[in-house]
Amino acid sequence: MSEIRQDSTRKTVDFRGGGFAPQSRKWVGIVVFVVLIGFIELGTRTGFITNLTLPIPSDVFATFVDLWQSGLLWKHLLPSIMRLIVGASIGVSLGIGIGILIGLFSLIRAGLVPLVAAIFPIPKIALLPLFVIWFGIDETSKYALIAFGTFTPTVVATYGAVDNVDRSLIRMGQSFSLSWFSIVRKIVLPGAMPGILSGLRISLAIAIILLVAAEMLGAEFGIGAYILEAGSLYDLERLFVGVTILSILGVFVSLGIGVIEKRLLNWRV
C-alpha cells in the first residue's frame, strides 16, 4: 500500500447527510391543542371572537359534563355505536366479499367495476327520501345508509388489494399444485389483508361521517341526532360537544384498526 503525504493540509470530511427522517415528538401535538383551545377561550371570553362565531371552550366542556352527568351521553352514544357497528359490518363484509369476487373473476370485474365507479360519487344524503321508502324509518334505514356508504370504498380497496397480491406467490401455489380454493384462502386472502385493513380505515371514517346523515332519518337518540338538534337551534355549545364526540370516536376507531393491524399483520417487515 502506497504511503500518504504527511505534510499536507488536513481537514475533516464535511457532514452533509441527515434530515428527511421524521422523529416522533408526541408532546407537540398536545401543546398545539392546548394553545389552540386556550386561544379560543381567551378570544371568546374577551369578545375578540364573537359568541356567534365560536362557543367558549370551557362552556363546551361544561355542557359535556352536564351531558355526562345526566346520563344522556350514553343514551346518545350507545345507539350511534350500535348503528356504526351493524351498518359498517354489513357494508364492510359485503364490500370485502364483492371486492374479492371482482379481484378473482374477470367477468364480475368487468360487470361491477363501472357500476361501483358510478355509485361512488353519489352523495348519500341525496338519497335520504328514498331510503325512508326502501328501508323504513327504524334502525334498518340507518344501518342501510351506513352500510351503503362504507360499501363502495371497501369494494375499491379490496379489489385493489387483491390485484396487488404478489403474483409470484400465486405462481408458487400453482407450481405446488395447490387447489384453486387453497390458493385463494391461503395466499390471496392473507396477501390482500393489509390493503383491506387500510381501506377499512377510510370506510370507518366515512361511517362516522354518515352517522349524522343516517340520524336525520327519525332518530331520537344518537350523536348525529344530538348534533342536528343543536344545529337547528343554533346551540353552539352542544354542537361542538357532539362534533368533538364524533372526532374522538374517529380517533378511537383509527387506533383500534392500528391495534388490529399490529396483531394481524405482525408478519410485515
Partner 1 sequence: TSYAADTKINVGALRFTSHAASFVAFERGYFKDEGLDVEFKFFQAAQPMAVAVASKDVDYAVTAISGGLISLAEKGAAKVIGGALMEDPAIDGQKILVSDAAFKDGMTEPSKLDGRSFAMTQSGSSFHYMGAKIAAKEGIAVSFKPLQKVGAIIGALKSGQVDAWSIVPHIAKPLDGSGAVHIIGNVADYIPDYQVTVVFTSADKAANDRDTSLAFLRAFSKGADDFNAALVDKTAGDEAAEEMVKLVHKYVYTDRPYEKAAPSIRNGAMRISPNAALNTASVQDQLDWFKSEKLVKDSVTIDTLVDSSYAN
Partner 2 sequence: MDLRLEAVGHHYGDLEVLSEIDLAIPAGKIVCIVGPSGCGKSTLLRLIGGLEQPTTGQIVQIGTPPTDSINPLTYVFQDFALLPWRTVEGNISLVLEDHRMPSARVTEIIANVLARTKLTEFAKAYPKQLSGGMKQRVAIARALAVKPAILLMDEPLSALDSQTRELLMDDLVGLWTRDPFTSVYVTHNLNEAVRLGHSIVVLSRRPGRIREIVDVTIPLGERELGDPELERQQKHLWNLMRDEALAADKELLNV
Q: Contact residues for partner 1 (CB under 8 A)?
A: 51-52, 70, 72, 128-130, 132-133, 136-138, 215-220, 225, 228-235
d(CA 56, CA 44): 6
Contact indicator for 145, 80 with CB cutoff of 8 Å: no
Q: What is the dihedral of CA 231, 233, 237, 238, to 10 degrees?
A: -70
Q: Which of residues 7-36 bind partner 2 (CB under 8 A)?
A: 8-18
- Does 95 contact its own copies by CB under 8 A? no
- With contacts defined by CB under 8 A, name the span among 79-87, 180-188, 201-209, 239-247 that binds partner 2: 180-188
Q: Which of residues 138-167 bind its own copies (CB under 8 A)?
A: 163, 167
- Does 12 contact its own copies by CB under 8 A? no
- Phi and psi at residue 48, in whole multiples of 5°? -60, -35
- Does 193 contact its own copies by CB under 8 A? no
- Amino acid at the residue 5: R
Chain-centroid distance, C-alpha 112: 24
- Does 39 contact its own copies by CB under 8 A? no
Interacting residue with its own copies among 170, 189, 197, 257 (CB under 8 A): 170
d(CA 193, CA 212): 30
How many residues bind partner 2 (CB under 8 A)? The answer is 37
d(CA 143, CA 217): 11
User: If we measure between CA atoms, which residue out of 206, 98, 201 comes closest to residue 146?
Assistant: 206
- With contacts defined by CB under 8 A, name the span among 70-78, 93-101, 136-144, 235-243 that binds its own copies: 235-243
d(CA 81, CA 181): 36
- Does 74 contact its own copies by CB under 8 A? no
Interface residues toward partner 2, by CB under 8 A: 1-6, 8-18, 168-169, 171-172, 174-179, 182, 186-187, 190-191, 193, 265, 267-269
